[in-house]
Structure 1
Amino acid sequence: MVNQLSWKVGGQQGEGIEITGEIFATAMNHLGYYLYGYRHFSSRIKGGHTNNKIRVSTTPVRSIQDDLDILVAFDQETIDVNFHELQDEGIVLADAKFKPTIPEGTNVILYAVPFTDIARELGSSLMKNMVAVGASSAILDLETDNYFGIVEQIFGRKGSKVVENNMRAIEKGADFIKSEANGTPSKLKMEPADGTKRMYLIGNDAISLGFLAGGCRFMAAYPITPASEIMEFMIKHLPGYGGTVIQTEDEMAAATMAIGANYGGVRAITASAGPGLSLMMESIGLAGMTETPLVVVDTQRGGPSTGLPTKQEQSDLMAMIYGTHGEIPKVVIAPSTVEEGFYDAVEALNIAEEYQCPVILLSDLQLSLGKQTVDTLDFDRVEVRRGNLELEPDLPKLGKGEYFKRYEVTESGISPRLLPGTKNGVFHVTGVEHDETGKPSEKADNRKKQMDKRLRKLKDLPKYFPTPVATNAKHDTPDLLFIGYISTRGVIEETMSRLENEGIKVNHAHLRLIHPFPTEEVKPLIEKAKKVIVVEHNATAQLANIIKMNVGHADKISSILKYDGTPFLPNEIYQDCMQEVMLHGNS
C-alpha cells in the first residue's frame, strides 16, 4: 500500500479531460484524501494537448509530484508527451481505439482499454471518460459506489437515465481492468484516508469567496485567462448578496468603474492578468492621486504581450510595484495557498479603505487555477474595517466658498473620508495635484505637502499586516535560506525536507507582503543564513532584485529561475541546490 500517488489524464482539449479529472479528484476528496491538482491546457477552445495531473496523499500536499504512477491517455500524443514522468512499474490506461504503444524496454504496464467502444455500447462515445474513471478506480481498488453521488450531482439535471448510463460506464471500466489484471495491482492501493470532509478549491474561487465575505458588492472586469473564474464566481454569487457584476468593454473601463463604486462607498474590485493590468495602470495612478480605495487582482501568466496565456509565470512583480507613472502609495500582497487567498482577499479590501489607496492582490496561474484541499475556512476571522470613512458625520456648516478638507494633511498621512452627498461635505475630486479641499493647485509648497502626506501613510503597514513573511525557521544559523512567493511555497517546503535529510540546515521565508517591503522582518533572516536562494518563475530574478534593493547582502543571494511555462517540481530545486552544495560546500 502507498500513502500517496500521482494520476494524470490527457488528450485533446474538448474531449472531457477536465471533467474526468474532476470526477476522479472529487471522489478521492470525499474519501478524505489530500489533493493537489494542476491543469496543462492550450490557449484555444478546442484541440491541442491538455492534461490534468492530480496528486493524492494521506497527508497535506502543496505541489505537483515529480513522477507519475498512472497515466490515462485518450490519444497517442498523451503517451508520447507524458511517458517520461512514469516511474518504474507505472501504469498506462489508454483507449484501445488508437492502438496505443509505449517505448520498448521500459518497465511500465500498458492496459489498452476500449474506452470509446464501451461508451458507444452504452449510448454515447462521450462517456469514454467515465470508463477511464472506472478503470482508474479498479487499479486503486476503489469501490465504484464512491462515484454515484458525484455523477448524480453533475448529470442529475439531465435525468436519471443519463446518471444510470454514466455509472454503468464507470462500472464497466472497472470490470475490464479487473478481468485484464487478474486482480488489483497491490502496489498502488492507497492507505485509508482519515475520512474528513474538506473543501477542494482553485485559488480563484477562494479569493472570490474572500471578497464576498469581506463585503465586496461590486465587480467590474473584462474576461481574461487566468482571472476569468473570479468574475464567473461573482456573477453567480454576488447578486444573492445584493451586489452587481458588470462585464466591461475593456480593462480601462473596469478599473475606472471600480474606482467610481469605491468613491461612492461600495467595496468594489476588478481582476485581470498582465495585459489587462498594463491597460489599468493610468487608472491605478488615478486611485492613488485621489486616494480612492481600489482592489485589483493580478493573476500572473506568461508574457510579454499575449505570451503564454495559459501557462505559469511570475513576471509582473516589478510592473505591479513600479508600473504606474509618478509616485503613489500602493500595496502589493501575495497569498501562497488557497486558504491565504481567502483571508488575503478580505485583508486587501480592508487595507484599501484604511489607507485609501490601490491594493494589488498578486496571484499566479498555478495558484489561481491549481486546485488544493482546503481545511474549513474560519469565517470568524473575517473582519470588515473601513478606516477613516465617516458614514454619518455631524459636520459644521460650510461658509460661502468653503469646502470640506477631504485631503487634509495629517500626521498619519490618512485623511478623513466621506460619502458623496454628505451634508456640509462638499469637496473637489481631480486627478491633477490639489490642495486639502481637492481644488487644483500647482503651488510648490502644496505639492510637497500632499506628496509627503500620501507617501507616509504606508510607512508602518509592515508592522500591522497580519503575516508579512511566513517563516519556517528551525535553525539559528542555517546553511541555506529559501525565499519565494505565491505558488512556490509547496515545492520549497518539499525540497526543504529532502535537503534536511542530507544534513543541510534549511530555513524558509515566504513573502506575503511585497510592497511596502517588510525589510525589518526579512533582514535578520538573511543575515543569519550562510546562503540565500530565491525561487521564482521569471527570467530576470525580479523578487531577488527587490530583496537586494531593500535588504542588501547581494553577495549571498542567488536565484533558481524557471520561465518555460511549467511549474517547479521538487526534484528540480533539489538538484540545483545539491549542485550548489557540491560546488561551494555548506559552510
Structure 2
Amino acid sequence: MMNQLSWKVGGQQGEGIESTGEIFAVALKRMGYHLYGYRHFSSRIKGGHTNNKIRVSTRPTRAISDDLDVLVAFDQETIDLNIHELAEHGIVIADSKFNPKLPEGANGTLYAVPFTQIADELGSSLMKNMVAVGASASALGINIDAFHDVVREIFKRKGDKIIDMNIQALNKGYDVFMEQAGGELESLRLEQADGKKRMFMIGNDAIALGAIAAGCRLMAAYPITPASEIMEYLIKKLPEFGGTVVQTEDEIAAITMAIGANFGGVRALTASAGPGLSLMMEGIGLAGMTETPVVIVDTQRGGPSTGLPTKQEQSDINALIHGTHGEIPKVVIAPSTAEEAFYDTVEAFNIAEELQCPVIIASDLQLSLGKQTVDPLDYSRVEIRRGKLLDEVPEQGDELFKRFEITDDGISPRVLPGTKNGLIHATGVEHGENGRPSEDAVNRKLQMDKRLRKLSNLKFYKPLTFDAKYEDPDILVLGMGSTVGTITEAKERLEAEGHKVNHVHVRLLHPFPTDELKPYIESAKQVLVVENNATGQLANLVRLNVGYAEKIRQLNKYDGNPFLPHEIEKGLKELL
C-alpha cells in the first residue's frame, strides 16, 4: 500500500485537461486525501501541450513529486514529454485513438484505452475525459461512486440526461481498464485517507477570500496571467457583500482607482503580474507620498517584458522593494501556502491602514495557480484594524486639518472626506502638515523622516516560518514563497541520512526581518538560499541586511519550472 502517489493528465489545451484533473482531484479530496497540484500550460487559449500533475497523499503535502505513478495521455506528445518522470512501477493510460507507444527503454506499462471511441458511442467525444477518469479510478482501486457524486454536482444544471451520460462514461472507463489489467493493480493501492473535510483552492482564491474577510469592497484591475483568477473570484463574490469589481483600461488606472477608493474610506485592492506592476510604480509612489493605504498583489511570473506569462519565477523582489522612484515606506509580504495567503491578505489590509502606506503581497505563479488542500480556516483570527482613523475632529477654525502632522511614530491622524472639521489638502508634491505644497528644506526633511519612521511600528505576526531544531546545523536552507514544501521534503531526506539541516522561510521581505533571521544564520556552518530567479535576489537581501556573505550559497532555477525535491536535495549534498 502507498501513502502517496503522483498522477498526471496531459494533452492539447482546449481538450478538457484541466477539468479532467479537477474531477479526479475533487473526488479524492472529498475522501480525505491531501492534494497538491500544478498545471503546465502555454500562453495561448487553444493548442499546445498542457498537463496537470496532482500529488495525492495521506499526510499534508506542499510539493510536486519528483516522479510519476500514473500518466494519462490524450496524445503521443504527452507520453514523449513526460515519460521520463514515470517510476518503474508506473503506468501510462492512453487513448488508443492515436496508437500510443512508449519510447524505447522507458519505464512502466502502457494501457491503451479507447477514450474517444467509448465517448462517441455514448453520444459525445467530449466525454473522453470522463472515460479517462474512470480508468484512473480503476487503476488506483478507488470506488467509482466517489466520482459519481462529483459529476452530479458539476452537471446538475444540465439535467439528468447529461449526468447519466457522464456517469456511464466513468463506469465504462473503469470496466474497460479493469479488463485490460486483468484485475486490480496492487502496486498502485493507496492507503485509506482520514475522511476529514478540507478546502481545495489555488492561492489566488485564498487571496480573494482573504480580501473579502478583510472588508475589501472594491477591486480595480486589468486581467493578466497569473493574477486574473483573483478578479474572477471577486466578480462572483464581492456583489454579495455590497462590493464590486471594475475592469479598468490598464494597470495605471487600476492602481489610481484603488488609491482613490481607499482615500474615500473603502478598502480596495488591485492585482497584477510583473508587467502590470511596472506600470503601477508611479501610482504606488503617489500612495506613499499622500499616505494613502492600498493593497497590491503581485503574482510573479517569468520575465522580463512579456517573458514567460504562464511559467514560474520569483524575480520581482527587487522591483517590489526598490521599484518606485524616490523613497517611501512600503511593506512586502510573501505567503508560502494558500492558508498563509488568506491570513496574510487580511493582515495586509490592516497594516496598510495602520501605517497608511502601500502593502504588497508577493505571490508567485506556483502559489497563485497551484491547487492544494487547506484545513478549515479559522475566521475567529480575522480582525479589522483601521489605525488612526478619526470619527470626530475638533473645530479647526480657519485652519486645514493637519493630515500630515509630525508625530513620534510617523503616523498622522487620518480622516475620510466629508468628516466635519476634517477639510484637508492632498497632493503628490511635497507638503507641510496641513497638506499645502512646500519646498522648504526643513519641512522636507521633517516629512521624509516622519514617513520613513512608520516602518519601525510594523508588527507582522509571522515574519519567518522555520523548522530549525538543530543548534549547530550543517546547513541552513532559506527560501520564500511556494518553495516551502519542496525545501521541506528535501530537508527530510537529508535528515533521514543523519545530516543536520535547518529550514527558515522568509515571509516578510520588506522591511527585512534582520534581527529575527540573524541567529539562524550565525549558528549555521553554511547557508543555501533557494529561489526561482537568476540573480539571487533573496540571497542579496540577506547579504545586505544580515551579512555573513562568506556563508551564503545560492541555488537558482529560472527555466520556468518549479523546483523539484531532488534538485534541492542535490544542491544540499553538494555543500556537505
> Which TM-score applies when normalising by structure 2?
0.99
Could you list the per-position Cα deviations for residues 282-319 of structure 1 after superposition, in whole angstroms to 9, with x for gaps in the alignment?
00000000000010000000000000000000000000
Query: Within 5 Å, which residues of 2 pair with 1:283-298?
Result: 283-298=283-298
Q: Distance in 1 between matches of 2:554 and 2:418?
A: 53
Q: Give ranges in structure 2 of 5+ residues lacking alignment.
A: none
Which of 439, 443, 451 is residue 442 of structure 1 equivalent to?
A: 439
Match of 1:320, as an amino acid? L
How far has the Cα of 1:397 moved from its partner? Answer: 3.8
Query: What amino acid is the match of 2:243?
Result: G
Instruction: Please state how far the C-alpha of 1:107 moved relative to its aligned partner.
Output: 4.1
Partner AA of 1:395 in structure 2: P
Percentage identity across paired residues of the two chains:
68
Alignment-derived partner of residue 329 in structure 1:
329
Q: Secondary structure at the match of 1:336?
A: coil
Aligned to 2:11: 11
Partner of 2:199: 199
Shift of 1:211: 0.5
Aligned counterpart, 2:397: 398
Q: Among residues 474, 498, 521, which one is paired with 1:479 in the alignment?
A: 474
Q: Which residue of 2 aligns with 1:585?
A: none
Deviation for aligned residue 1:501: 1.4
Q: Which moved more, 1:495-504 or 1:216-225?
A: 495-504
For 1:332 and 1:382, how far apart are their aligned partners in 2?
20
Distance in 2 between the 1:75 and 1:525 partners?
49
- Partners in 1 of 2:393 and 2:365 — Cα distance? 47
Asked if the contact 2:13–2:45 (Cα under 8 Å) also holds between the matched residues in 1, the reply is yes
CA distance in 1, matches of 2:396, 2:340: 46
Contact 2:298 2:360 in 1 (8 A): yes
User: Which one of the candidate residues 553, 569, 575 is aligned to 1:574?
Assistant: 569
Q: Counterpart in 2 of 1:104?
A: 104
Deviation at 1:415, TM superposition (A): 0.1
In the other structure, the counterpart of 2:455 is: 458
Check whether the contact 2:84–2:106 (CA below 8 A) recurs between aligned residues: no
1:246-265 equivalence runs, <5 A = 246-265=246-265
1:427 maps to amino acid: I
2:11 and 2:105 mapped to 1: Cα distance? 24
| Structure 1 position 422 matched with structure 2 position 419 | yes
**In structure 2, C-alpha distance between the alignment counterparts of 1:81 and 1:222, rounded to whole Å:** 34
- Aligned-partner residue type, residue 35 of structure 1: L
1:408 aligns with 2:381: no
- What's the CA shift string for 1:150-180, capped at 9, x where partnerless? 1111111111100000000000000001111
Counterpart CA distance in 1 for 2:17 and 2:92 is: 16
2:548 pairs with 1:553: yes
Q: Does 1:149 align with 2:149?
A: yes
- Structure 1 stretches of 4+ moved >4 Å: none
Specify the alignment match of 1:181 in structure 2.
181
Question: 2:356 matched to 1:361?
Answer: no
1:97-145, Cα deviation, whole Å (9 max, x unpaired): 0000002344411001000000000000000000000000000111211
Correspondence 1:136 to 2:136: yes
1:495 maps to a residue whose letter is: A
Partner of 2:513: 518
CA-based RMSD: 0.7
SS at structure 2 position matched to 1:209 = helix
- Alignment-mate amino acid for residue 396 of structure 1: E
Mapped contact 2:36–2:372 kept (Cα < 8 A): yes
> For the residues of structure 2 that align with 1:534 and 1:460, how far apart are their CA atoms?
28
What's 1:38 paired with?
38
Name the structure 1 match of 2:501. 506
- Mapped pair 1:563 → 2:562: no
Distance 1:423 1:456 in 2: 29
Residues 1:431 and 2:399 are matched in the alignment = no
Where does residue 124 of structure 1 map in the other structure? 124
Distance 2:105 2:313 in 1: 36
Following the alignment from structure 1 to structure 2, what is the Cα–Cα distance between the partners of residues 422 and 465?
30
Deviations along 1:242-289, one digit per CA (max 9) or x if unpaired, are 111100000000000000000000000000000000000000000000
Deviates more, 1:439-448 or 1:420-429: 420-429
Distance in structure 2 (CA, Å) of the matches to 1:556 and 1:105: 43
Higher alpha-carbon deviation: 17-26 or 177-186: 177-186
Question: Cα gap change, 1:107/1:305 in structure 2, threshold over 3 Å: closer, same or farther?
Answer: closer
| 1:496 aligned counterpart, secondary structure | helix
1:494 to 2:489 alignment: yes
1:384 aligns with 2:384: yes
2:354 maps to amino acid? E
Q: Secondary structure at the match of 1:387?
A: coil
- Relative to the length of structure 1, the TM-score reads 0.98
SS of match in other structure, 1:559:
strand
Q: Tell me how far apart the structure 1 counterparts of residues 103 and 231 of structure 2 sit (CA, whole Å).
A: 44
Instruction: Report the secondary structure of 1:121's partner residue.
Output: helix
Match of 1:319 in 2: 319
**Whole-Å Cα distance in 1 between the matches of residues 396 and 98 of structure 2?**
82
- Partners of 2:574 and 2:105 lie apart in 1 by 31
Secondary structure of 1:458's aligned partner:
helix
CA distance in 1, matches of 2:517, 2:119: 57
- Rounded to whole Å, the distance in 1 between the matches of 2:181 and 2:263 is 66
1:483 Cα offset (Å) = 0.6
Paired letter, 2:455: L
